[in-house]
Amino acid sequence: MTARSFVETMSEKCTIESLFIFALVFGWCLAVAPQSHAVLITHNGAQVQADDFEDDTAGNNPSSPPWHGKSGTTLNTTIQVADSNPAAAQGANYLVFDRAQAGGLEGRGYIDGFGTLNSGTVGASFMLYVPSTNNVSLTNSAEGKIGLGPSLSGGLFLAVGQEDSSGQFSIDYFHGGHAVWEDSTVTYAYDRWQRWDMTVDISTGNATLAVDGTSANFNIGRLNFDVSRFELEGGWAYTGPHNKLYVDAVPEPSCLLLLAVALLSSTTVLRCRRIRFKIGKPAHQFAY
Q: What is the pLDDT of residues 7-59, one digit of tens each?
A: 455 555 555 555 555 555 555 554 544 445 568 999 999 999 999 999 999 99
Report the share of the chain in percent with pLDDT over 90.
Answer: 53
* pLDDT level of residue 216 (50, 70, 90 thresholds): very high
> Mean per-residue pLDDT for 108-131?
96
> Mean per-residue pLDDT for 98-114?
86
Which comes out higher in pLDDT, residue 154 or 78? 78
* pLDDT level of residue 275 (50, 70, 90 thresholds): very low
User: Which range is least confidently modeled, 76-85, 92-101, 155-164?
Assistant: 155-164
User: For the chain, how many residues are written?
Assistant: 288
For residue 59, the model assigns a pLDDT of 96
pLDDT in tens, 230-272: 999 998 766 666 789 999 988 765 444 455 544 555 454 445 4
92: pLDDT strictly greater than 70: yes
140: pLDDT strictly greater than 90: no
For residue 285, the model assigns a pLDDT of 47
> Mean per-residue pLDDT for 64-88?
93
pLDDT in tens, 150-168: 877 789 999 998 676 666 7
> Mean per-residue pLDDT for 212-237?
93
Most confidently predicted of 33-37, 175-179, 194-198? 194-198
> Mean per-residue pLDDT for 132-140?
72
Report the share of the chain in percent with pLDDT over 70.
Answer: 67
Q: What is the mean pLDDT of the chain?
A: 80
For residue 251, the model assigns a pLDDT of 79
For residue 7, the model assigns a pLDDT of 45
